[in-house]
Each structure stands twice: as structure tokens, then as C-alpha cells.
Amino acid sequence: MDLGRLSVLGKDNLKLLVAINFDFSLLDLASEESERMAALRANVGGRMYVDDYKLILRNKAYTLLKECVDEIRSYGQFALRDNPDLAKAYSSSYRREKLKEYRKRIKMKASAHETESSAS
């Protein structure tokens, strides 16, 4: 689109381009390239969403799998609630790490707040 606009701008200001010895064939080339690129973009844009079905199917499969894993995890934690070592196998290591980081950040903020309060 910018090439097309530049071509029109150049054709509207021919006197200024003559002053700098501009090659007018470049204006036509810019116009042609703009049209070619617009057609190419329309072609690609039309095919770009063909894979939406695959993406939706992948997302649905992931969601179904996640729900199943979460259900198994919750049943395992309930059934093994008396045995913490086995129950740990049914918990998410990712969530444990995130919770550990969160608690660490909260602790650091609290200690920083206490340091500011005692300094005042």
C-alpha cells in the first residue's frame, strides 16, 4: 500500500521530481509492485486461516487431557492424603515451584517492609 501511495504522490508532484532528475519509470514500477503485493497478501491471508480447524482441535485435545490429568491428580491426592510422600507424586512439580517462589517473594517483601519500618 505504501508503494501505491508513493506512486500516486510522485505522479501528483511531477514538477518536483523533474527538478531532481527522478526516473519516472520507478513510479510505474512502484504501482505494479504494490498491486502484486496486495494480490499476494490477499492470497496468503485467505489461506492463513485454513489451519484454524487444526488449532481448535489441538486446543480441545489439550483441554481434555488437562482436565483428565487434573482429575487423576485430585483423586490421587485424596486417596493418598494419609501418605504425604505418595500424595506428592500426584501434585504438580510446576505448581510446587511456583508456590515456593511466591512464598519467597512474599517473605522478601515482608522483610523489606519491616526494614523500612524500623529505619523510620
Q: Can you read off the three cell numbers belonging to residue 32?
A: 505494479
Structural domains in the chain (count) = 3
Question: How would you class 7 by CB atoms within 10 Å of its CB: exposed for 0-12, middle for 13-18, buried for 19 or more?
Answer: buried
Are 105 and 83 in the same domain? no
Domain limits for position 68: 51-89
pLDDT winner (highest mean) among 5-14, 33-42, 96-105 = 96-105
Are 34 and 56 in the same domain? no
Are 36 and 69 in the same domain? no
CA distance 12 to 110: 67
- In this predicted structure, what is the pLDDT of residue 45? 64
pLDDT 10s digits, 52-95: 788 889 999 999 999 999 898 888 888 888 888 887 777 778 88
